[in-house]
Structure 1
């Protein structure tokens, strides 16, 4: 049997003085294995009588113990074979608080790291992180002086530590000079090619952005720095999903790679654009969320129209005025030129003829209906505008929601862009959607109040009818149970069958009132909009807020109880107060 011997780099010898060294525990274990093996080999080669077979067994057992303790020094061994010195094995290096993972990798207080509370900024690109200027003045990057950057670095050295953009140290000919004094101008004049300046962080620097706990590879990704005022780390909300981050007080960390090799590896392997898809199943993970979905849903309604001034202004939202935009032909020409909200997304996908993106896509949104109001089967012309159809980058039909712009759909907007036109096209569209949505909803307004969850008189009347009918069914089932005529469910006794019937009837009440609620609410109802576009909530949440909460089952020591006419009626037929 062969045992792998690790290189000396992971079991180094420690020099105690000129004549003595301390060997690593792994080296000592290997030495013990070699000695035990030599003893066994010596015993086997000796010409001993058969009665001495016990000696062979002892040597063999000793070798087995040494090999086992080489892997795990905590294995149980006979008392006679226990050694006095506690030498660690490989498992002891890995596990526990002092092990490699917890002791050397996780949550380490390392150099060139910054940590702060996070907050959203839809104006940043998905691969950018907003860095507080105070953090940018403390964290540095060692940049080597060349003919391309010598003037920039001379200015940084002149500014020193407290003026941004500045520098903290200059290293030349093996010496290091601190730039906190008044002789910064002299150091700047002496700067030569090959010197290293520890400059402040600047826009475009490579950073590693991390949120704990780091559970998989997309918990730490590479972003580009954007030095900004104020005190929080900011990033685009589209990148919340990979980090599982929200903005209720979460903190995140940045790490600054210190070599060109590390920067290149981080940008190429860990960049956000390189990790838009989850490695688990290939679904898109970096995608629009919440406010972006709500805005897109409202912008692409059938009855949304803009005149030339409004349309031009909204088009400028998505590109900060730097991109040239080819104006589409207006949807309405007389009596005034009007453009639709759907045309905004056509411009978003392909702002001008130089953008070679011809997107073709069909998606069935949450509101998609297979039949029209008369019950006739339909495919594309959905009465709820739930059939999204892009042809040659032009949005022909459909209101955009989570099915199109959200994460998790392999046939969605960003997934198709990533598949057909690579990561740059998908990331560019994400940036445009974020800027357009955030600025549009900021001007348009979107709020929720008590009035949004207050039912109308008609809804209250119809709801009461549904609830009375459901209670009547429950009374009939309880009557059958008391008379012993209740039809039993397979594998259940009478009490369990009654429980099942009542649960079914009360759940049916909630479903019917929910459907009624969704039909009667106005289309401008905020919870309804959020539910339809998939940004937050569901039909059940809305029906519980507006119509009725529905049955709440819970177990007590003597039976299962259900809310019934304001009181809890048990399976046995009597009632007790909710508590």
Structure 2
């Protein structure tokens, strides 16, 4: 009857469904409550008390039932005050009915001990069950063990920003003025720290505090320039106090490039906490997050809030840059599939940019390339034009090729890739291909050399369009291959560059969709009406055949 009990070593397997004992929490977890000189026991203790009383009463009634009368009851039980309660207050006309009622009461109290919701009719309704003590935000784990308030942290609403890098987080200036990092003063950074000390706590980038060699703290006053100037001049001067060994430490503001741990609750998997590089935004009031990270955090922008933590040591900063960074979480630990990718408008822009026949002048070509590679330091390799006469023109595929070549790490060979696009070759055909005139052999597949076949050689996109297959959160696309060949930083850089160049191209050539574009055209409407008419005819035939209805 119960296959799950066949492997148990218990003599009577069904005994597993019954409880012999209940767990009792220590008394110090159930302290008495004193209010207005009145001592009261906690509601949780009252539940234990009810269980004990029910057990004693049940024992009384069980002895009466077994002996057949109250004469065989032991003297100890007869002397107990509960004996009177059993005979007087227990509901029921006979002993068996009283036994049943007490048994039900005991079951209700045990249920209440485990889960308050299982027994809502008890008189001790305020007592919490074990389930209520542990579960939800007010429970033992989340309230008293997990959720702790910490320093050097910030929390606010997140808003999307496709113009920052994927591994960046836009931080409001108000947060940057409050968050600080301790930097030891050395001859190599003294000049930079002097400027921060002079700026003070209200000018970014500045400093809010100075720690002397003996551990004492000097707070920089925002309205006292003389004090800040004096402190700045003595950064490298040893202190006159005794036991002043070590270095002075300046608590500087959060600056661009600092690593921050970003977290969105609930933290369900490892990518729910990732390290981002800070980008200080002077006019913003919210965190600015690139939408490509939404899948990692399971976030959207309908009012979600996120937490940012500022590491306070060089070891923790190193772990943030090298272990917990967004670049190291491009693949989800669950199954190794990509987490980050572009969607919607960027996909439309990517297809329109790389489609065959799209050309740009020198100005537009360089504008798109520099927009994508705005964070790159050093020389940018440009490509020769695809068309020289009557004027030099660069194709949209060359814009993407220039980005891929410049993103490839120095000393590494550029990527070679044969792949397919999500848009099939039939969607690009307006008419049948013309037959060969000057000889040659036909292609083995109609998709060969079409926009549905993506061919990249040494970083140059030679054929095909790049769509969601290659820069979305999909496997074996261009960004995924870059991650496998060159690592996470190169994949994230390519994704950031694509995001910027696609956004810039949409500003040059927009994409609109009106009501007219989604209305059914006349030819399609005629086909639809024919199908509906045919369905009605078939229905009438079936009705006539099965229900014996006459044709009309």
Do the two structures share a fold, i.e. TM-score over 0.5? yes
Q: Deviations over 1:413-435 (max 9, x none)?
A: 01111111222321222222122
Counterpart in the other structure of 1:403:
469
- Asked whether the equivalents of residues 278 and 284 of structure 1 are also in contact (C-alpha less than 8 Å), the reply is yes
Change over 3 Å in CA distance of 1:380–1:362 after alignment to 2: farther
Given that residues 301 and 399 in structure 1 are in contact (C-alpha distance below 8 angstroms), is that contact kept between their aligned partners in structure 2? yes
Distance in structure 1 (CA, Å) of the matches to 2:308 and 2:417: 38
Q: Specify which of 301, 305, 309 is matched with residue 251 of structure 1.
A: 305
Q: Which residue number in structure 2 is paired with residue 128 of structure 1?
A: 168
The C-alpha deviation readout for 1:359-391, integer Å capped at 9, x for no partner, is 111222222237976599853745861111112
Q: CA deviation at 1:475?
A: 2.2
Other-structure match for 1:570: none
Pick aligned residue for 1:333 from 388, 405, 419? 388
Matched, 1:345 2:384: no
Counterpart in the other structure of 2:189: 149
2:215 equivalent in structure 1: 174
Mapped partners of 2:175, 2:539: distance in 1: 69
Q: Matched residues in 2 for 1:302 and 1:233: separation?
A: 39
1:139 aligns with 2:179: yes
From 513, 530, 537, give the equivalent of 1:476: 537
The answer to whether the Cα contact below 8 Å between 1:357 and 1:421 also exists between their aligned partners in 2 is no
Checking the alignment, whether the CA contact within 8 Å between 1:368 and 1:382 is kept in structure 2 is no
Moved more, 307-316 or 200-209: 307-316
Q: In structure 2, which of residues 256, 263, 270 is the aligned counterpart of residue 210 of structure 1?
A: 263
**1:206: Cα distance to partner?**
1.4
TM-score by length of 1: 0.62
Question: Higher relative contact order by CA 8 Å / sep ≥ 6: 1 or 2?
Answer: 2
Q: Which residue of 2 aligns with 1:187?
A: 231
Give the Å deviation of 1:109: 3.6
Aligned match of 2:144: 103
- Structure 1 pair 161/418, CA: closer, same or farther in 2 (3 Å)? same
TM-aligned CA deviation for residue 215 of structure 1: 1.9
Deviation at 1:322, TM superposition (A): 4.5
Provide the residue aligned with 2:320 in structure 1.
266
2:415 and 2:456 in contact (8 A); partners too: yes
Please tell me whether the aligned partners of residues 470 and 478 of structure 2 are also in contact (alpha carbons under 8 angstroms).
yes
Question: Matches of residues 422-461 of structure 1 in structure 2 within 5 Å?
Answer: 422-455=487-520, 459-460=521-522
Q: Say if 2:336 is the partner of 1:276.
A: no
Given that 1:158 and 1:184 are in contact with CA atoms closer than 8 Å, whether structure 2 keeps it comes out as: yes
Gap runs ≥5 in structure 1:
1-12, 14-73, 77-85, 488-579
Deviations 1:165-223 (A, max 9, x none): 22222222132222236233333334356122222111121101122332211111001
Q: Larger Cα Rg: Structure 1 or Structure 2?
A: 2
Query: Structure 2 CA distance, aligned partners of 1:126 and 1:155?
Result: 31
Secondary structure of the structure 1 residue equivalent to 2:280:
strand
Q: How far apart, CA to CA, are the structure 2 residues paired with 1:248 and 1:95? A: 23
Provide the rounded CA distance (Å) in 2 between the counterparts of 1:472 and 1:483. Answer: 17
Spell out the pairing of 1:18-57 with structure 2 (5 A cutoff). Answer: none
Following TM superposition, by how much is the alpha carbon of 1:93 offset from its aligned partner in structure 2, in angstroms?
A: 8.0
Distance 1:296 1:234, change over 3 A: same
> Which consecutive residues of structure 2, in runs of 5 or more, have no partner in the other structure?
1-27, 29-112, 116-126, 237-245, 434-441
> Taking structure 1 as reference, are residues 109 and 401 closer, same or farther at Cα in structure 2, changes over 3 Å only?
same
Counterpart of 2:481 in structure 1 is: 416
Runs (4+) of structure 1 moved beyond 6 Å?
91-96
Report SS of the residue matched to 1:476.
helix
> 1:476, CA displacement in angstroms?
3.0
Alignment partners' CA distance in 2, 1:486 and 1:379: 52
Question: How many residue pairs were aligned?
Answer: 404
Could you state the TM-score of these two structures normalised by the residue count of structure 2?
0.65
Q: In structure 1, what is the equivalent of residue 119 of structure 2?
A: none
Q: Distance in 1 between matches of 2:515 and 2:490?
A: 42
CA contact (8 A) 1:140 1:198 kept: yes
Contact 1:370–1:382 (Cα < 8 Å) also in 2: no
Say if 1:177 and 1:93 are closer, same or farther in 2 by CA, change over 3 A: farther
User: RMSD of aligned C-alpha atoms?
Assistant: 3.6
